[in-house]
Amino acid sequence: MEDAYVVAVVVTHDRRDLLTEALTALRTQARTPDATVVVDNASSDGTARLVRSRFPEIELLALPHNTGGAGGFATGIARALDLGATALWLMDDDTLPSPSALAELLATFGRHRPALAASRVVWTDGGDHPMNTPRALRSGAPGRIRSASFVSVLLDAGAVRECGLPIADYFLWNDDFEYTLRLLRGRLGLLCPSSVVVHRTASPVFDPGARFFYEVRNKTWLFTRSRCLAPGERLLYAGSTLRRWARSLAGSSDRARLLRELFRGLWAGVRAGPRPNEAVLAGRPSPGG
């Protein structure tokens, strides 16, 4: 799939140094993206200025307020489609792709024509990152996946146009889970182990803290309002989620706080669904920031 028009989409917020390394890695890919869009979620650390001065070839969308990863990717994906992308490469600002990461993803696309191909995501110690391991298809088909994270995925633009955009009101957590589940319902998703990226989180361990609210609210939205899962899958994934929440509570040093966020998230998720993207992204800037 060497003839693909690839637009990379990177979402960032107040992580200028990590973003610099990520964008430098994009420049040095064996097969570089044809265009790159950086969505800056109202950073206060000079990110926009840095991108304009050091990476003038990159299109910057400087948002007037922080829309989270969900709003950032919805904005960036929409712009990539406007630019005529036939494939979209999504990644976080703390993702460091190996030099052949994109070339390997494109080779997988050329051989199998999936709707989505996901990189192998490792932590800084070289081991698989437990927070970004794609969910395997339950049929057990080798390499086939049912969902992935936005840390490094290549999407077919035709499938994206059919599926629509991520739900911006998720803000953070589970926006990529819901979206890739939705994209891959009835479509082929593949893990590409030869495409390797490093996700430079502070720790590979899931530590929700006060943000547990978003985990609970967004999962509640996913299970009650999204059509991303078939009925049988809904039961299986809900059971897995409850076990994960129980482990988070059991391992927390502040269970009282997590319980408060649990009930807040459940109430928010049941009380109302996510707002339309148009409402969440009101005031989105025109290209160029």
Task: Give me the domains of the chain, ranges plus CATH numbers.
Answer: 6-202 (3.90.550.60), 209-271 (no CATH)
Predicted pLDDT of residue 289 = 47
Q: Which helix (H) or strand (E) holds 196?
A: strand 189-199
Q: Which helix (H) or strand (E) holds 197?
A: strand 189-199
- What is the spatial distance between Cα 147 and Cα 50, in angstroms, rounded to a whole number? 33
**Residue partners of 239: CB distance under 8 A and separation at least 6:** none
Predicted pLDDT of residue 104 = 97
Q: Which helix (H) or strand (E) holds 191?
A: strand 189-199
Contact 285, 63 (CB under 8 A): yes
Digitized pLDDT (tens) for each residue of the chain, 289 residues in all: 668 999 999 999 999 999 999 999 999 999 999 999 999 999 999 999 999 999 999 999 999 999 999 999 999 999 999 999 999 999 999 999 999 999 999 999 999 999 999 999 998 887 777 776 777 776 556 689 999 999 999 999 999 999 999 999 999 989 999 999 999 999 999 999 999 999 887 665 566 778 899 999 999 999 999 999 998 899 988 998 999 888 888 887 888 888 999 999 999 999 999 999 999 998 655 454 4
